[in-house]
Amino acid sequence: MRCNRIVFGAHLGNMARGGVPGDQHVAYYADRLTGCAGTIVVEPMPVHPAVVLTRGNYRPGDNSVKATTESSRCVAIQQLYHVGAHGDSAIRTAPGTSAFYEAGESHWSSDA
């Protein structure tokens, strides 16, 4: 399949379970390739060392996404992000300090 110049930009799909990509991710990106997207920017991956991704357990899911995009000659780009320090109004903190945000802990979205 020859892909075109359509770019599917990154966004948070909330399809991971426990912060790890799975079958729903693979199916989601395969659907994007049906329209022959030339480039897909894969859902952002947090880079903070406190998140689940530092243990390497995300690699099988990422490899499945990679295999799906490679089979269509599409370019897949992984977006990295870090939310930085910030406060949470639900947590009382002393002046000048911030609450640690559980980076990468987004809620799971159903396949509806």
| pLDDT tens digits, one per residue of 26-77 | 888 888 887 778 888 888 777 666 655 556 666 777 888 888 888 787 888 8
DSSP labels for 35-92?
Answer: TT-SEEEEEEEE--TTSGGGGSTTHHHHHHHHHHHHHTT-EEEEEEE---S---TTS-
pTM score: 0.61
Upper half-sphere CA count for residue 68 (Cβ side, 13 Å): 25
What is residue 91's predicted lDDT score, i.e. its pLDDT?
56
Check whether 104 has a pLDDT greater than 60. Answer: no
| For residues 3-22, average pLDDT | 78
User: What is residue 2's DSSP assignment?
Assistant: -
Lowest-pLDDT choice from 5-14, 57-66, 78-87? 78-87
Number of structural domains found in the chain:
1
pLDDT grade, residue 99 (50/70/90)? very low
Query: In terms of residue numbers, what domain contains 10?
Result: 1-112
Tokens encoding 33: 């390739």
Other CB atoms closer than 10 Å to residue 74's CB: what's the count?
A: 21
